[in-house]
Amino acid sequence: MSRARLLHQLRLLVDRDALHALLVAASACVLSLGLVYVGYVLHVWRVARNAPCAPARGDCVLLFGKHAPGGRLDADFQARLARAATLWDARAPRSLLLLGGGPQGAPTEAALAREALLARGIAADAPLLLEDRSRDTLQNLRNARALLAQSTGVPVGQVTLLSSRYHLARCALLAGHLGLDWELCAAEPALSWRPTTWWRIAGEAAYLCWTDVGMRWARLIGH
């Protein structure tokens, strides 16, 4: 993990409200004997398993980047790019937002995605929009929403969220809270049964539990 990425995650962990939410979510898991967390695992798994590969609308596609140390794209990032290229060949969207920043002095995830898509045959004049200042999924979506508000010809709020299957539940949760009208598009043809996939599902479930329980608690206490 790069130093810049580590510092970004540490800043999130020392935020008082984030720690408050983490404490409440952990308490809910302990008091329920782990059932609350298991519920989130099942939710992430169901979303990952059932997400379609072909969006119903697909007019505005948000392609989520992924950490690429040294500019090296891993298998997950490559799968997302391959799906975006497939969608483009089948029915080119009116706009394709490439999401993801990067450490200072290094290519951003959005720039790497654009380069890779051009190498896959997408025309140089394609309507590719780069959101290259975000470092996590929430920032991805916030910045994308701002870009959409400034663009023309795109139905406000209607977006297709394209990412790895294990990541889609997080994308959907945050997009919904930001007021976006979303649909999902999975990068992979089907959910893999590899141990690494289940490790990522477990991690995403923990993140969703932290975020969702924390937001519900904040509404309850009027924070």
pLDDT tens digits, one per residue of 113-128: 999 999 999 988 888 9
Model confidence, pTM: 0.91
Question: What pLDDT shows up at residue 136?
Answer: 92
Q: What is the pLDDT of residues 177-217, one digit of tens each?
A: 999 999 999 999 999 999 999 999 999 999 999 999 999 99
Output the average pLDDT for the chain.
91
Helix (H, G, I), strand (E, B) or coil at 150: helix
- How far apart, in whole angstroms, are the C-alpha atoms of residue 206 and residue 12? 15
Percent of the chain with pLDDT over 90: 74
What separation in angstroms does the CA of 62 have from each of 70, 92, 150, 198, 203?
23, 13, 15, 24, 22
pLDDT of residue 124: 86
Least confident of 136-145, 146-155, 188-197: 146-155
64 phi/psi in degrees, rounded to 5: -80, 130
CB 159 within 8 A of CB 180: yes
Residue 15: pLDDT band with limits 50, 70, 90: confident
Residue type, 90: A
6-10, 35-39, 44-48, 212-216: segment of lowest average pLDDT:
6-10
User: Per-residue pLDDT for 155 more than 70?
Assistant: no
What are the backbone dihedrals phi and psi of residue 29, each rounded to the nearest 5 degrees, phi first? -70, -40
Predicted pLDDT of residue 103: 83
70 DSSP 8-state letter:
G
Q: Tell me which residue of 54, 52, 62, 48 sits closest to 159, measured CA to CA.
A: 62
pLDDT of residue 158: 85
Q: Directed axis angle between helix 16-31 and helix 35-50, to 10°?
A: 100
CA distance 3 to 67: 12
Phi first, then psi: give them for residue 181, nearest 5 degrees: -90, 100
| CA–CA dist 197, 192 (Å, integer) | 6
In the predicted structure, residue 14 carries a pLDDT above the cut 90:
no
